[in-house]
Amino acid sequence: MILRRFICYNASSTVSSIAPSPKKKPLIFLGSPQVSVTVLEALFNASNAPNSSFEVAGIVTQPPSRRDRGKKVLPSPVAQYALDKGLPSDLIFSPEKAGDEAFLSALRELQPELCITAAYGNILPTKFLKIPVHGTVNIHPSLLPLYRGAAPVQRALQDGVPETGVSLAFTVRKLDAGPVIASKRFQVDDLIKAPELLSFLFSEGSNLLIRELPSIFDGSAKSKAAPQDDSKATLAPKIAPDEAWLSFDQEAFVLHNKVRAFAGWPGTRAKVVVLDEKSGQQNVLELKIMSTRVCKDLEIQDSEQDYVTFKKGSLIFPCRGGTALEVLEVQLPGKKAINAAAFWNGLRGQKLKKL
């Protein structure tokens, strides 16, 4: 019943059941994955403060989907969090498209003064953007205008950037191109992976948002927001599953950055050949590469260029330009992730060759 109510919004029941307090400005939050929950939690906490000038009047999120290996249809993490916090289900909207007229009609009835987006995952049409009095503000995990698009953290790590950040910007029809209200920059550790960095940036973005909310509500944020320099813009396109494969004819640092960037989803994979010298048999294995680092101060012999060796707890993959990649953790299809030593011991003396 709850899931059905997510999809079938009823404008009249919404208005009657939770007309926003006249003393507080109604705010609508749009987000979907787990990282968005951090922002919603911060908004709920701030709205419950004694001197708060706003309330969370509704949630917009992606429709329920199959998760947990496809067994169950579940609400998005944001929807589940909102339910757990006691938000009425008729305030949790999950339109297939943000331009659906039934949804827009229900949103207008709530008369939001501000909308906040954080990894919502749907394009917002002009009809939507015209509804909130003070506009729509997005938390974007990059230093705009850098890395506009669906995968800013992943693409930044893939590029091996030494610095990144989070931006608070007004939403316009052009992708991630609105004026920037505020931003914060951070140094990037060369071992951090995308899920960790994404979580950190949205947490910092929440703090930035709460700090700037008064200026957004009083209108001063619009006058101080800085237009982006489109000439400096870079794009962060959505990741395709077929990008997951590693090619060892690239340098080790390129592969290491890719492993960090694609951690979580879609992950990174490599094919290797297991050689049994006694029987002459060869078996191709597909490995999911979980953790790596760039090998330093290790000379690869000519006889080892095509083979994977094991040194100091790591699988050593020779790469382009005399570089080498240390693989610390791997996963076989259908198995749990194991460290390099456990995998190497399981070979029982068989040789491992790159493909």
* Average pLDDT value for residue range 264-290: 94
Give the pLDDT band of residue 6 (cuts 50, 70, 90): very low
Any idea which residue has 């990649």 for tokens?
Answer: 325
Which domains does the chain show, CATH number per domain? 25-236 (3.40.50.170), 241-354 (3.10.25.10)
Query: Which residue did the predictor score with more confidence, 338 or 10?
Result: 338
Share of the chain above pLDDT 70, in %: 91
Mean pLDDT of all residues in the chain? 92
Among the listed residues 333, 265, 275, the one whose alpha carbon sits nearest the alpha carbon of residue 308: 275
* Average pLDDT value for residue range 290-305: 81
pLDDT at 12: 38
What angle in degrees, to the nearest 10, is found between the helix axes of 194-217 and 34-47? 30
- Is the pLDDT assigned to residue 257 strictly greater than 50? yes
Of 268-272, 300-304, 327-331, where does mean pLDDT reach its minimum? 300-304
pLDDT at 301: 67
Handedness of CA 66, 157, 288, 344 (dihedral sign): negative
Give the pLDDT band of residue 10 (cuts 50, 70, 90): very low
Give the list of residues 6+ apart from residue 269 with CB closer than 8 angstroms, or none: 244, 245, 246, 286, 287, 288, 289
Of 79-93, 182-196, 300-314, where does mean pLDDT reach its minimum? 300-314
CB 66 within 8 A of CB 73: yes
Share of the chain above pLDDT 90, in %: 86
Among the listed residues 287, 200, 298, the one whose alpha carbon sits nearest the alpha carbon of residue 252: 298
- Cis bond before residue 266 (omega within 30° of 0): yes
| Predicted TM-score (pTM) of this structure | 0.90
What are the phi and psi torsion angles at 25 (to 5°)? -80, 130
* Average pLDDT value for residue range 243-260: 97
